[in-house]
Structure 1
Amino acid sequence: MNETPGSEGDVRPRRGGRPAEGQPVIDRAFALLDAFDSDHRALSLADLAQRSGIPRSSALRLARSLVHVGALERLDDGRFVVGLRLLETASLAPRGHGLRSVAMPFMEDLFHVTRQHVLLAVRDQGEALLVERLSALDASPVRYRVGGRLPLTSTGVGLVLLAFAPPAVQDQAIAAYEPGDGDDDIRTPADLRRALAEVRRGGHALGHQSHPWRLSTVAAPVRDGDEVVAALSVVAPSPGFPDAGYGPAVRATARAVSRRLSQDGHRAVPLGGGNTRP
């Protein structure tokens, strides 16, 4: 289990085989937005062009358009940052803030019991996306953020989401698995396949890592009806990790969130059906 995914590379590969100038405007606009990450929150025009793979003149035109609609903002020194308009729009995502609003009261109860990291994540294609995180000030160090992406094979929430993903998604992750990609006890693709089967049988994932910090996690699925739409976990230091205490608490919390999702008659949009993009 690796709860500390590294930073992404300095250059994001462009989608598709066409040069940047031949891409639809919407693709190029998202390529600019994808240039930002937790380590690159403010970018110069040169950085935007270099990280997105878009020529500087085109990047400037697109950036100005995004500033005009509020998707980007420009600092006094000329650098660009993500604009509040994106936060406003993202707040309407049912698998993000919609799920978070339902789960938060139960997550807070779990947090007050454990005083550790409590995570809520959903699957987006072949990665886990962190929707919410509650952490005590003195909790063990970890490296992830709300809105950040985690490999499915490297975290407790990821293993749960992968265990209930379509077979094609599982097969792809298993085929690409290499030693060191995940939990200390998952060393081969065969180990990963067995671990996913155990998650489905037992209804939770239990993982341990020794590098860079000794951490353990227990995670359980959150369901909307019969569909697994998210995963909930607790992450804490491995020494003294109370499997017998945290496991039942996480499973009970995940079941409580699932019941509320199934009973919630106020959602205009269902949470399921969004795990893959066309």
Structure 2
Amino acid sequence: MAGNTSTPGASVASRVLAILAAFDEHHRQLTLSEVADRARLPLATAHRLVQELVAGGALTRRPQGDYVIGRLLWDVGLLAPVEAGLRRVAEPVLHDVHATTRATVHLAVRDGDQVLYLERMRGRASVPVVSTVGSTLPMHSTGVGKVLLAHAPADVQQRVLGQLTRVTPYTITQPSVLAEQLDRVRNDGYATTSEEMSLGAASLAVPVLRDDEAVAAIGVVVASLRRDRPRLLAALQVAARGISRQLSTR
């Protein structure tokens, strides 16, 4: 961002929001100078507000001196009606999937043009998994992301298909190829990936529906889908139907 030229007359609230918005998927840790620069604030103003945010738990200062988002924001975010109710309903069902499959299990929702992970239960096998609770990842390279993208509005699909970044050598970056995959996801009711987000990992995911709308996706990450795909898919489909039924009665 440009230098420290704050907007004249900007309120304290808008300045605080600018500081929080300085953090994103590609800027998870920032020095004070970087915060000030990205928020377009004078260094002194940024320093004062950052210290207040640290004191309140919205930011955390790490031993090396830079700053990261604090636990308070994640806790507050979980109070959003959809996410909070969804996690409460899904958690016991996801535990069943985890116990049955022994795989890493994910619960995710769409957050703009990315996929946001609300829950992750790590599997017993040593499989590379880059997601964390509260993190966002590209939709086109993840199983849960492909499910949500397949059911996303047309403008979201168009934006994502127009900016397909390569994460691994196996990431799908051709819009026509991904569009065909999304058609199959809608027809088949599930999505798969193979080393598209991280090498040595495959994923399988299904939608969680409420009134025919895909409000979330659940998935598993394993080393390979060659042998266990039918068993994993059956477990996910049963779980998704259970979550959908509970959401529909709430």
1:79-136 CA distances to partner (integer Å, 9 max, x unpaired)? 6554454344223122333211110011000001111110011011111100000003
Matching residue of 2:236: 250
For 2:203, which of 217, 235, 238 is the aligned residue? 217
Q: 1 CA distance for matches of 2:181 and 2:201?
A: 18
Matching residue of 1:125: 112
- The aligned amino acid for 2:136 is R
Consecutive unaligned residues in structure 1, runs of 5 or more: 1-12, 265-278
SS of aligned partner of 1:154? coil
Given the alignment of the two structures, is residue 61 of structure 1 paired with residue 48 of structure 2, yes or no?
Answer: yes
1:209-239 CA distances to partner (integer Å, 9 max, x unpaired)? 1675222111000112222110100010027
Deviation at 1:187, TM superposition (A): 4.5
Preserved contact between residue 215 and residue 236 of structure 1 (Cα < 8 Å): yes
Matching residue of 1:158: 145
Given the alignment of the two structures, is residue 167 of structure 1 paired with residue 154 of structure 2, yes or no?
Answer: yes
Q: Per the alignment, do residues 210 and 76 of structure 1 end up closer, same or farther by CA in structure 2, a change over 3 Å counting? A: closer
Q: 1 CA distance for matches of 2:212 and 2:121?
A: 27
Q: Per the alignment, do residues 189 and 119 of structure 1 end up closer, same or farther by CA in structure 2, a change over 3 Å counting? A: same
Matching residue of 1:194: 180
Matching residue of 1:30: 17
Q: Which fold has the larger relative contact order, with Cα–Cα distance below 8 Å and residues 6 or more apart in sequence? A: 1
Q: 2 CA distance for matches of 1:109 and 1:76?
A: 39
Q: 1 CA distance for matches of 2:97 and 2:179?
A: 30
Matching residue of 1:6: none
Q: 2 CA distance for matches of 1:127 and 1:76?
A: 30
Q: Per the alignment, do residues 148 and 214 of structure 1 end up closer, same or farther by CA in structure 2, a change over 3 Å counting? A: same
Consecutive unaligned residues in structure 2, runs of 5 or more: none
Preserved contact between residue 154 and residue 182 of structure 1 (Cα < 8 Å): no
Q: 2 CA distance for matches of 1:38 and 1:188?
A: 23
Matches within 5 A, 1:1-278: 13=1, 20-22=6-8, 25-36=12-23, 44-67=31-54, 69-72=56-59, 80=67, 82-177=69-164, 180=166, 184=170, 186-209=172-195, 212-238=198-224, 240-264=226-250
What is the TM-score of this pair, normalised by structure 1? 0.76
Moved more, 65-74 or 135-144: 65-74
Q: 2 CA distance for matches of 1:76 and 1:181?
A: 30
CA RMSD of aligned residues (A): 3.1
Count matched residues. Answer: 248
Preserved contact between residue 141 and residue 171 of structure 2 (Cα < 8 Å): no
Preserved contact between residue 168 and residue 196 of structure 2 (Cα < 8 Å): no
Preserved contact between residue 153 and residue 182 of structure 1 (Cα < 8 Å): no
Preserved contact between residue 185 and residue 191 of structure 2 (Cα < 8 Å): yes
SS of aligned partner of 1:176? coil
